[in-house]
Structure 1
Amino acid sequence: MTSPAAGPAGPADSTVPAADLAALRESTERLLAAVAGLDDASVAEPSLLPGWTRGHVLAHLARNADALAGVLAGRPMYPSAEAREADIERDAPRPLAAQLADLRDADARLGRAMDSLAGERWGATVALRNGVTDLASSLPFRRRIEVELHHVDLGIGYTLHDLPADFTERELENMVRRFAGHPGVAPLELRTGDGRVRRTGRAAAAGTEPVVVTGPPTELMGWLTGRTTGGGLTVSGGVLPALPPL
């Protein structure tokens, strides 16, 4: 299982991302409140992610917060892919009280790490997973992606249609950038009802047209992030192209 934010997170600059920090706090508090309403049995039940219980999702969220705090301190995001997976498997079976306390504590540590950054340090380049680098100022939105999409993945009543509109639009743009030029993604032209057109995937061969996919931003984002099969979309040719795993 990989992070939904493993690739580009969108444009970032060296300014203090105050709006992103505030939005992350709101997303985190909404998630924590929802998790507090679970019980031990429901934490052990399957999530919407294949092979993961809700406990796996919560463990991943806690360890991801610590990983991002480590990145801000100049440490590798994870010691290795194997260590990352082992930590999640170790922490997944815990009861709700332990999961919730760990998640709150990890988010507090990340919050302190972000709050400690002086203005110029937001412009520093940080190393993430799989050779990805970005500015430190991208991290609040990267963490928000984790929080919002995995809140949906818990399968506890929070759906793609509950995501804040500003998040949906920005994550759609993020996924368009992520798949731009990707050899495993067919040439795509994404159209929304507001008339906007976004192109992604590999370049179309001479004399060919991209696959045109039309639908609301929520449905497009859900498909591109692997959260839906694209049932709410229309496509030229009638069949959505396959997307690579995230």
Structure 2
Amino acid sequence: MTSEPTAPEEATSEPALSAEEVRAAIEAGQERLRALLPGLSDAAVRAPSALPGWSRAHVLAHIEGIAGATARQARYALRGELVELYDGGRPERAAGIEAGAVRDAAALREAVRAALDESSAAWAAVGPADWSRPVRYRNGELRTVLWAWWRELEIHTADALLGQGPQDWPHGLCHHLLSHLAPRAPKDLHLVLEATDEAFRREYGAAGAPEVTVRGPLTDLAAWLAGRAPHRPLDCRRPGGTAPLPELLDWP
């Protein structure tokens, strides 16, 4: 039995970022987050985040944890050693977030700052020849961890509702998300995403399947595909008229 032919994923005006450029973008994102921390009060960290069931403190504890976990991948890779992203896997990750979320604002601020400093130091030690070093994370290369940390940093900074939202995401990150999150596109549709603020178009899914076109600013397209609320409404159409946005699949 043959599989359905699939349409090529087509993209226009997608920048090819080097690992060094991504590292610089991460440093800029970390500085933005550091600048948002001083105003956090105890009441503010107990307030809800954009993630159901999580307070701001939960999100900040997760940022702290993933900053340290990805920095550790870098440190061990430079030694030629492999280590899991989190000791104890996802259960230990979840326990760390819950434990970290009960701290007061001062403790959270200091913990996040320390984790960001640790991250900066770890990634600064990586040289141009090191990006292809193997890591345990997804059995990939060190550059894949760098991209993962960029995703986590920017997305969860937005989730914390500290004033920095998806509408502020760098366009380079948005292009990356629209590529990395391609597996979220429904398999029974031919999904077309078109940016209204730059020359960008990407197609996903089976050729010949019912076509759905979603249009909007690039940051809003990326936010939607990442499971976050777009800053502005997206325009979704099927042949014959407007339509609701399709349901997305799980994260890859």
> TM-score under structure 2 normalisation?
0.80
Indicate how the Cα distance of structure 1 residues 102 and 152 shifts in structure 2: closer, same or farther if over 3 A, else same: same
Q: Decide whether the 8 Å contact of 1:220 with 1:233 is kept in 2.
A: yes
Superposition deviation, residue 210 in structure 1? 2.5
Indicate how the Cα distance of structure 1 residues 163 and 197 shifts in structure 2: closer, same or farther if over 3 A, else same: closer
Q: What CA distance in whole angstroms lies between the structure 1 residues aligned with 2:57 and 2:44?
A: 9
Superposition deviation, residue 153 in structure 1? 0.8
- In structure 1, the residue matched to 2:103 is 94
Which one has a bigger Cα radius of gyration?
2
Superposition deviation, residue 27 in structure 1? 0.6
1:160 paired with 2:169, answer no
- In structure 1, the residue matched to 2:49 is 47
- In structure 1, the residue matched to 2:217 is 216
- In structure 2, the residue matched to 1:67 is 69
Percent identity over the alignment? 31
Q: What CA distance in whole angstroms lies between the structure 2 residues aligned with 1:18 and 1:80?
A: 29
Q: Decide whether the 8 Å contact of 2:167 with 2:231 is kept in 1.
A: no
Q: What CA distance in whole angstroms lies between the structure 1 residues aligned with 2:195 and 2:15?
A: 21
Q: How is 1:20-169 mapped onto 2 (pairs within 5 angstroms)?
A: 20-72=22-74, 73=76, 74-78=82-86, 79-128=88-137, 132-169=138-175
Superposition deviation, residue 101 in structure 1? 1.3
- In structure 2, the residue matched to 1:242 is 247
- In structure 2, the residue matched to 1:189 is 192
Superposition deviation, residue 174 in structure 1? 2.9
Q: Decide whether the 8 Å contact of 1:40 with 1:95 is kept in 2.
A: yes
Superposition deviation, residue 230 in structure 1? 8.7
Q: What CA distance in whole angstroms lies between the structure 2 residues aligned with 1:90 and 1:233?
A: 38
Runs of 4 or more above 4 Å deviation: 10-13
Q: What SS class does the counterpart of residue 135 from structure 2 fall into?
A: strand
Q: Decide whether the 8 Å contact of 1:12 with 1:138 is kept in 2.
A: no
The one-letter code of the counterpart of 2:233 is G
- In structure 2, the residue matched to 1:3 is none
Q: Decide whether the 8 Å contact of 2:134 with 2:140 is kept in 1.
A: yes
Q: What CA distance in whole angstroms lies between the structure 1 residues aligned with 2:34 and 2:50?
A: 18
- In structure 1, the residue matched to 2:3 is none
Q: Decide whether the 8 Å contact of 1:24 with 1:144 is kept in 2.
A: yes
Indicate how the Cα distance of structure 1 residues 52 and 245 shifts in structure 2: closer, same or farther if over 3 A, else same: farther
Q: What CA distance in whole angstroms lies between the structure 2 residues aligned with 1:21 and 1:66?
A: 16
Give the CA RMSD over aligned residues.
Answer: 2.6
Indicate how the Cα distance of structure 1 residues 19 and 196 shifts in structure 2: closer, same or farther if over 3 A, else same: closer
The one-letter code of the counterpart of 2:219 is T
Superposition deviation, residue 245 in structure 1? 4.0
Superposition deviation, residue 229 in structure 1? 6.5
Q: What SS class does the counterpart of residue 192 from structure 2 fall into?
A: strand
Q: Decide whether the 8 Å contact of 1:188 with 1:199 is kept in 2.
A: yes
> TM-score under structure 1 normalisation?
0.81
Q: What CA distance in whole angstroms lies between the structure 2 residues aligned with 1:101 and 1:84?
A: 20
The one-letter code of the counterpart of 1:239 is P
Indicate how the Cα distance of structure 1 residues 230 and 210 shifts in structure 2: closer, same or farther if over 3 A, else same: farther
Q: Give the paired residue count.
A: 226
Q: Decide whether the 8 Å contact of 2:50 with 2:161 is kept in 1.
A: yes
Indicate how the Cα distance of structure 1 residues 198 and 12 shifts in structure 2: closer, same or farther if over 3 A, else same: closer
1:136-187 deviation digits (Å, cap 9, x = unpaired): 12333321221211111111222222223333333333323x436x64x743
